[in-house]
Structure 1
Amino acid sequence: MVRKSPLDDPATAAHAWARYRRLMRFMFALTVGVVIIALTLLYREMGMVSVHFFIATALGIGIAMLLMSALMGLVFLSSGTGHDEAVENSLDELEE
């Protein structure tokens, strides 16, 4: 029989998703700060190379950091709510 996930409870799910959104807002602010610092350092070191260089750098850093934080946030959400323990793993039975 399939065990119920703690995320099936609306109150627990609302709390978990609120925490995830708060984490993502913080990571967005941190990402914007890192992009500004990186672009400032590149401009100081190299001068005005090309606007496309700065756009590509900002997009590369921004997308990488936001994707990493979104995926890690989902891992923390799944683990922190007990959703991972609710999943049945039939491979455990085969090993015994």
Structure 2
Amino acid sequence: MPATFDRDRAAAARAQFKRMVGWIALAGVVLVIGALWYLSLYGPLRLHMVIATIAGVFVSVMLGCGLFAAAFYSDKSGHDDAATGPAGKTDR
């Protein structure tokens, strides 16, 4: 019997996903500030180094954590319920 899609469950998962992305973005900003502070200890910051650090650190944090958040969202929203692999097969 296929699983049904629950809209309330999906809405709650969507709200939680948005909160997670907000916290991840905040963590990315904090990590960028920390990385720039650390780099400033060893010499002057040049524009290209600042741009590369911002892009590299922030994008890496958002990509890595964002993919984990998307996996959790997919599971909690019920989108994964209908997908079954070989273990979900039944003999007829």
Q: TM-score range by the shorter chain?
A: 0.7 to 0.9
Counterpart in the other structure of 1:13? 10
Gaps of 5+ in 2: none
Gaps of 5+ in 1: none
Residue 3 of structure 2 corresponds to residue 4 of structure 1: yes
More displaced, 76-85 or 9-18?
A: 76-85
Deviation at 1:85, TM superposition (A): 3.8
Residue 51 of structure 2 corresponds to residue 55 of structure 1: yes
Q: Higher helix fraction: Structure 1 or Structure 2?
A: 1
> Cα–Cα, structure 1 residues 19 and 29, in superposed 2: closer, same or farther, change >3 Å?
same
**Aligned positions, number:** 88
Deviation at 1:34, TM superposition (A): 0.6
**Scaled by the length of structure 2, what TM-score is found?**
0.81
**Scaled by the length of structure 1, what TM-score is found?**
0.78
For residues 11 and 30 of structure 2, the distance between their equivalents in structure 1, rounded to whole angstroms, comes to: 29
Deviation at 1:53, TM superposition (A): 0.9
Whether the 8 Å contact between 2:28 and 2:62 is mirrored in structure 1 is yes
Whether the 8 Å contact between 2:9 and 2:78 is mirrored in structure 1 is no
